[in-house]
Amino acid sequence: MVALAAALGLFAPVARGEGRPRLLAVFEDPAGDDTGPGSYRYPTDAEFTPGDFDLRRFAVYEDGDDLLFEVTLGSTFREPQTTQRTNTIPLRLLNGIYLQNIDVYVDTDPASPAGWNASIPGRRVAFADGRTWKGAVVITPQPGPASAITAKALGEEAASRIAFADGLVVRGRTVTARVPAYLFGASPSKKWGYSVQVSGARWERSFSALDLVRGGAEVNAFTMPVVGIRESWAFGGAPWGEVHPRVVDVLLPPGADQAAVLGSYDAAAGTFAKVPFVYGVLPPPVAEPVASQAAPVAPAVPVSPPVLRVADVSGTLVSISGPVDGRRPMQIGRVVGPDGATVARVVVVQVLEGGLVANAVEGRENVRPGAAVLFDGPAP
Is 60 exceeded by the pLDDT of residue 350?
yes
Is 60 exceeded by the pLDDT of residue 296?
no
Instruction: For the chain, give every domain's residue range.
Output: 2-279, 308-374
CATH code that applies to domain 308-374: 2.40.30.20
Closest CA to 278 of 25, 15, 3: 25
Average pLDDT over residues 169-182: 96
Closest CA to 7 of 132, 167, 149: 167
pTM score, whole prediction:
0.72
Instruction: Quote the mean pLDDT of the chain.
Output: 84
CATH code that applies to domain 2-279: 2.60.40.1190
Q: What is the pLDDT of residues 106-164, one digit of tens each?
A: 999 999 999 999 899 999 999 999 999 999 999 999 999 999 999 988 988 999 999 99
- Spatial contact of 107 and 132, defined as CB atoms under 8 Å apart: yes
User: pLDDT confidence of 240, banded at 50, 70, 90?
Assistant: confident
- Spatial contact of 41 and 235, defined as CB atoms under 8 Å apart: yes
What pLDDT score was predicted for residue 17?
52
